[in-house]
């Protein structure tokens, strides 16, 4: 990991956005494979910003998933707490409680089945015969 870390740090600072994206993908993959990152790579992730619109969002997510909590730097531990609380609050705020679409998907499926439109959707309106 120490051999690759300087190359990844340089690659995350390239001017081309696509190449930087590949570099951050490699950082996330390093977290997956090794279960840890070097302090330099943690600083690169911190500099890129862990927000939803950051180029490093997937690398940060992979790091949070595959690196043990006790091995994370303090700023990333706070990120875990923030993301957990944010996701819980979003689930409470959305009507119906479905985080994916904001609606109650099970109730929509039940309503389709009750109206008999599920077969029409699946079979293209032709029914079974």
The reply to whether 65 and 46 lie within a common domain is yes
Q: Are the beta carbons of 45 and 27 closer than 8 angstroms?
A: yes
The reply to whether 42 and 105 lie within a common domain is no
Which range marks the domain in which residue 44 is found?
5-93
Helices within the chain (DSSP H only) = 5-11, 17-34, 39-48, 57-66, 74-93, 105-115, 118-123
Helix/strand/coil for 67: coil
Could you give the CA distance from residue 46 to residue 86 in angstroms, rounded to a whole number? 19
Tokens matching residue 117 = 């439109």
The reply to whether 110 and 88 lie within a common domain is no
Whole-model pTM? 0.65
The reply to whether 89 and 101 lie within a common domain is no
pLDDT tens figures, 19-68: 999 999 999 999 999 999 999 999 999 999 867 678 988 899 899 899 99
Domain count, the chain: 2
The reply to whether 127 and 77 lie within a common domain is no
Residue 125, CB-side half-sphere exposure with 13 Å CA sphere: 0
The reply to whether 124 and 101 lie within a common domain is yes
Share of residues in the chain with pLDDT > 70 (%): 71
């Amino acid at each position: 990991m120490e051999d690759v870390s300087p190359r990844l740090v340089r690659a995350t600072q390239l001017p081309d956005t696509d190449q930087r994206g590949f570099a951050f993908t490699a950082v996330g993959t390093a977290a997956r494979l090794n279960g840890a990152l070097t302090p330099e790579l943690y600083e690169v992730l911190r500099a890129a910003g862990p927000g939803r619109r950051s180029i490093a969002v997937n690398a940060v997510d992979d790091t949070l998933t595959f690196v043990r909590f006790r091995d994370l730097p303090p700023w990333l531990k706070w990120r875990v707490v923030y993301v957990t609380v944010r996701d819980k609050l979003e689930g409470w705020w959305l009507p119906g409680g479905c985080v994916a679409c904001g609606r109650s998907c099970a109730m929509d499926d039940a309503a389709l089945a009750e109206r008999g439109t599920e077969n029409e959707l699946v079979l293209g309106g032709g029914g079974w015969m």
